[in-house]
Chain A
């Protein structure tokens, strides 16, 4: 069977699994929007700071759910893969003519599809509360593509953790680390307006800042080639690192002859 069909079958399973776990659906859809509401309510006046790039903190902060949702998708995908290892389902798959690559691409395809669906919801909510992306409809399409790519990149990290440890608990332990990574970024303030030196340095070194800024540029700036290049560049780089590491871990995990 073609790699593409194996991948499609396993991606379908990944999406079906996610859809059938209410906790995995509610978390990624609801919590980022709740955090958006809380942050916007508490930090709304930050938009009045001189040099703030927009007069709507809501539009500024709308980028955050896209990244936060990708983090949730990562954890869910990694946990599912770890469960397959723990229950022996991976052995069942190993006994079929499935190619190793199909397992990884199928799982990540499912993650990307879930990430894309989440992004559609966040964007719809943003439009419903009055945010109008400055890049227009083409920008929204690019935003969705970038969101899927970010979910895939983080999903690869989750898959690596799952394949390396074989433990759902270990994968979930990664979540706080990534969440701290989100907070230590330009999540709530443009980097040039962060006054605390160490925070600004960390945010500048943090790839999450560039992912956020690429999404944000499409919403509040329009077409910013530098921000988009950095955002796509970091997403692709994280994806390459994650997929390479996961492929290696998968080869180690699958000892079939």
Chain B
């Protein structure tokens, strides 16, 4: 494994906690330089533990990982020089101002004293916090905290950026702004981004490639398009005009494919032969004298991929992940 040519390379990585709890159960992945890699999975899947290992905050139990060409277990300081990280829950000091955070961070990263103020101002401007720079962080909104968190991760111009659920709890506007900034970092500055998320849309919109993790194992990997193509055909969902017709409508739809997950009060099937069958579905329902209030076609989503690979929907599939500070075995 030659990590120097690659952003991140992971080989059979295992992380076990006290009590035999296997948070990461032997994963392999490669993230190319400049790529945005989305690590998608429910709570408790092992995403944050993987990030903690890759950022050197936790040693692996077994396996090997290189980040920016450096071994995470044996070359921790070199790895830390090369990466920036915004971990889950913006870790900020509520009593310090945004500018003071950046001042401390620039100093600890050994940025020359004469450049610190300018670098802090540049980053504050970049994340839109110039106006709030001298306010204590306890008065910041969730979105502002996340933006400051990102600015702190960028202080030393890292080649690789780890973002652990960066938009959890953010309003749509803040989420979009953060996506734009992450996209810009990757596409304009060539920063490699390892992004964990439990939001399908985030992985779909932002990531060049996605790894889906469940119970510590990667169950699928590829571009969002490739993953959705694995699922194949779209689904058609029908809501009967009369609730009592649900079973009858379902029976008609099942002539066209296997049942699929659907909204309450609706029935759905995955169309065996694609969208061109839609007209036949409508005719079949009409022939049976069944009226529908709504008929919709859904293209496959990453949730469909997750469902196909794990038998569960991503939404509500989570469980509490082991805290990173759990005592290692």
Binding site for B on A (CB under 8 A): 1, 5-6, 9-10, 13, 16-17, 20-21, 84-85, 87-89, 91-98, 166, 253, 255-257
Known interface pairs A16-B95, A16-B100, A255-B58. Does A96 touch B109 (Cβ–Cβ under 8 Å)? yes
When distances are taken between beta carbons in the complex, the residues of chain A under 8 Å from B57 are: 91, 94-95, 255-256
Task: Please tell me if B192 contacts chain A, counting CB pairs below 8 Å.
Answer: no
Partner of B325, one of A96, A98, A166: A166
Known interface pairs A17-B95, A91-B91, A95-B83. Does A255 touch B110 (Cβ–Cβ under 8 Å)? no
Complex CA gap A98/B55 in Å reads 15
Closest Cβ of chain A to B70, distance in Å, is: 10
Known interface pairs A166-B325, A255-B58. Does A97 touch B95 (Cβ–Cβ under 8 Å)? no
B95 and A88 within 8 A (CB) = no
Known interface pairs A93-B108, A96-B109, A97-B80. Does A257 touch B89 (Cβ–Cβ under 8 Å)? no
- Chain B residues 94-115 with CB under 8 Å of chain A are 95-96, 100, 104-105, 107-110
Closest 5 CB pairs of A and B: A88-B91, A257-B76, A96-B108, A1-B110, A92-B91
B105 and A257 within 8 A (CB) = no
B85 and A95 within 8 A (CB) = yes
When distances are taken between beta carbons in the complex, the residues of chain B under 8 Å from A96 are: 80, 105, 108-109
Task: Please tell me if B169 contacts chain A, counting CB pairs below 8 Å.
Answer: no
Complex CA gap A16/B93 in Å reads 11
Known: A91-B57, A97-B109, A97-B110. 5 other contacts (CB 8 A): A5-B107, A16-B95, A95-B57, A95-B85, A253-B325
Complex CA gap A128/B325 in Å reads 51
Partner of B108, one of A9, A16, A91, A257: A9
Task: Please tell me if B136 contacts chain A, counting CB pairs below 8 Å.
Answer: yes
Complex CA gap A5/B56 in Å reads 24
Closest Cβ of chain A to B110, distance in Å, is: 4
When distances are taken between beta carbons in the complex, the residues of chain A under 8 Å from B152 are: 92
Task: Please tell me if B328 contacts chain A, counting CB pairs below 8 Å.
Answer: yes
Interface centre among A1, A93, A95 (most CB of B within 10 A): A95
Complex CA gap A101/B136 in Å reads 27
A87 and B91 within 8 A (CB) = yes
B87 and A91 within 8 A (CB) = yes
Complex CA gap A255/B52 in Å reads 10
Q: What does DSSP make chain B's interface, helix, strand, loop or mixed?
A: loop
B328 and A1 within 8 A (CB) = no
When distances are taken between beta carbons in the complex, the residues of chain B under 8 Å from A9 are: 104, 107-108
Nearest A residue (CB) for B74? A257
Task: Please tell me if B280 contacts chain A, counting CB pairs below 8 Å.
Answer: no
Task: Please tell me if B142 contacts chain A, counting CB pairs below 8 Å.
Answer: no
When distances are taken between beta carbons in the complex, the residues of chain A under 8 Å from B105 are: 96
A88 and B89 within 8 A (CB) = yes
Nearest A residue (CB) for B113? A5
Complex CA gap A163/B93 in Å reads 18
Known interface pairs A96-B105, A97-B110, A257-B72. Does A89 touch B91 (Cβ–Cβ under 8 Å)? yes
When distances are taken between beta carbons in the complex, the residues of chain A under 8 Å from B93 are: 13, 17, 84, 87, 89
B92 and A87 within 8 A (CB) = yes
Nearest A residue (CB) for B76? A257
Task: Please tell me if B73 contacts chain A, counting CB pairs below 8 Å.
Answer: yes
Task: Please tell me if B59 contacts chain A, counting CB pairs below 8 Å.
Answer: yes
When distances are taken between beta carbons in the complex, the residues of chain B under 8 Å from A97 are: 77, 80-81, 108-110
When distances are taken between beta carbons in the complex, the residues of chain A under 8 Å from B107 are: 1, 5-6, 9
Closest Cβ of chain A to B64, distance in Å, is: 12
Interface centre among A17, A87, A88, A98 (most CB of B within 10 A): A88
Closest Cβ of chain A to B198, distance in Å, is: 18
Complex CA gap A9/B111 in Å reads 13
Complex CA gap A5/B88 in Å reads 29
Nearest B residue (CB) for A17? B95
Complex CA gap A91/B90 in Å reads 11
When distances are taken between beta carbons in the complex, the residues of chain A under 8 Å from B91 are: 87-89, 91-92
Nearest A residue (CB) for B77? A97
